A and B are shown apart, each in its own frame.
Chain A
Amino acid sequence: MAGHDNINGSTEKSSSSMDDLPTFNAENMQNNMKVILYSRTFMAIIGGVIAGILGLTSLTGFIFYFLVMAITSAALTAKAKFSIHSYFDSWNRLVLDGFFGGLMSFVLFWTFAYDIVHIF
């Protein structure tokens, strides 16, 4: 919608809407997303191994994953010095990004550690 307005509106209007649009440093944004992805994947793997050693099964393990991800989100917030909007454009970036990819890694290492400890 904003782009449509920019095309049809006069130059004066488009320049004022350019001022309204938030501008980000895209390169640093990419860097921040990459840092979050690394942290989340690593914590998902470690959480999976811990869940496997503890011998969690079915729903308990997934609740444990949510717990680990909540701890990771809190730690990332603390790492961003509680000023999210100077490092990310929204909270969803911090809380949701890499969640499902991390879930796949979690399940893989969960079953791996469970098999090693409890089955073999």
Chain B
Amino acid sequence: MGAGFLVGVIGVLILSHATYSTIQYRALLKITEEEFSGPPIDVVIELIISLVLCLWAAMAAPGKFKSIHPQSEENRVIALPANLDFMIFNHRGKIFPLETELKLK
């Protein structure tokens, strides 16, 4: 969770730097009076790096997939109260007074 989030933050930072570089490039083009035909190559490389980092973050940060099969290893839960054959009522706890009425007050 933490590592994926950090990678995403780095990706967004690189992306904002790429935005800033492109704005400066546009300003340069305005001075030299040329037409914009695409961002410079270093911006494209930055964009690709940030896309890869954000893809990694998008896979790592939101959490893991969980199996939907009821018989799979992680879904197998042994519910003890459902195991009615092993419930015992004839034990020494029955001599203690019931305190359910006291809780009601």
A binding-site residues for B, Cβ under 8 Å: 23-25, 28-29, 31-32, 34-35, 38-39, 42-43, 46-47, 49-50, 53-55, 68, 71-72, 75-76, 79-80, 86-89, 113, 116-118
Contacts and interface: CB of A to CB of B under 8 A. Distances in A.
A86 B50 CA distance: 31
Contact of B19 (A42, A72, A117): A117
Given A42-B58, A46-B54, A117-B22, A32 B66 contact: yes
A29 B36 contact: no
Contacts of A49: 15, 19
Contacts of B10: none
Contact of A79 (B23, B44, B65): B65
A50 B55 contact: no
Given A39-B58, A117-B26, A87 B51 contact: no
A24 B15 CA distance: 40
A25 B67 contact: yes
A89 B61 CA distance: 23
B2 interface: no
Interface of B: 8, 11-12, 15, 18-19, 22-23, 26, 36, 38-39, 43-44, 47, 50-51, 54-55, 57-59, 61-70, 72, 75
Nearest to B67: A86
Contacts, number: 99
Contacts of B38: 54-55
A72 B61 CA distance: 14
A116 B23 contact: yes
Nearest to B51: A50
A28 B62 contact: no
Given A28-B68, A117-B23, A72 B36 contact: no
Nearest to B36: A55
Contact of B22 (A24, A35, A38, A53): A53
Contacts of A118: 26, 36
A113 B70 contact: no
Contact of A29 (B19, B62, B68, B72): B68
A110 to B, nearest CB: 13
